[in-house]
Amino acid sequence: MRKFIFIAGLSATFLFTLFFQVGCSKEGKAKPKAQQDMVALGKYIVHTSGCDDCHTPKLFTDKGPIFDTTNLLSGHPQRDVIPPLDASALGVNQWAATTMSLTAWVGPWGISYASNITPDKATGIGTMTEEMFIKCMREGKYMGVGRTLLPPMPWEVYGKKTDEDLKAIYAYLMSIKPISNQVPQPTPPDQVSEVLAQK
């Protein structure tokens, strides 16, 4: 009888432990967020992580620059002309410069322009898949496979975000209004002087 009670008690303990572990593991796993929650998280990350600082053109007021929300995240305006600048001041251990709109920069890497990160299929990231977007942020390659992303894009920082954060950013960017704005291709270093000398 004692042997039976011992075996029954041991079996009950085993079953209780198994049930408790299975129950805890189910509770411990986070449920995937709904699409609207991913978009909301992405919106929060984008607008609190400095994306607007470069990718949204500016309007200049008597109180200084403000974001042009009618062109939210559309990148360097295609109509903007790069102002002239003495290229001899640029270079390693010298100066790097930006336009007043903070959408174009010049330095030893050449001239870089803030990309259109709206979901426009022709001029933005509308053809980019989630996988390509995450690869772009992790590896610093344009469209996930192309040229290296240029300064000041802090892809090394964004690449450290969680998969969920990057998926949320992608979900939000794909939910905003597509804006047709063809951002110029980067200017290589050997052509900077020519571009900056234009009047």
Output the average pLDDT for the chain. Answer: 88
Q: Phi/psi at 110 (nearest 5 deg)?
A: 110, -145
The pTM of the full predicted model, rounded to 2 decimals, is: 0.81
As a whole number of angstroms, the distance between CA 180 and CA 124 comes to: 7
Which range among 16-30, 33-47, 87-101, 156-170 shows the weakest confidence by mean pLDDT? 16-30
Per-residue model confidence (pLDDT) at position 73: 98
Per-residue model confidence (pLDDT) at position 17: 52
86-127 per-position pLDDT tens digit = 888 888 888 999 998 899 999 999 999 999 999 999 999 999
* Percent of residues, the chain, with pLDDT higher than 70: 84
**Average of pLDDT values for 58-72?**
94
Confidence of residue 63 (pLDDT cuts 50, 70, 90): confident
pLDDT higher than threshold 60 for residue 173 = yes
- Of 177 and 144, the structure prediction assigns the larger pLDDT to 177
As a whole number of angstroms, the distance between CA 185 and CA 12 comes to: 69
Nearest to 119 by CA among 108, 107, 109, 128: 128
Per-residue model confidence (pLDDT) at position 199: 55
- Of 7 and 181, the structure prediction assigns the larger pLDDT to 181
139-157 per-position pLDDT tens digit = 999 988 889 999 999 999 9
Could you give the C-alpha distances from 169 to 13, 40, 44, 47, 62, in angstroms and in order?
A: 46, 9, 9, 10, 33
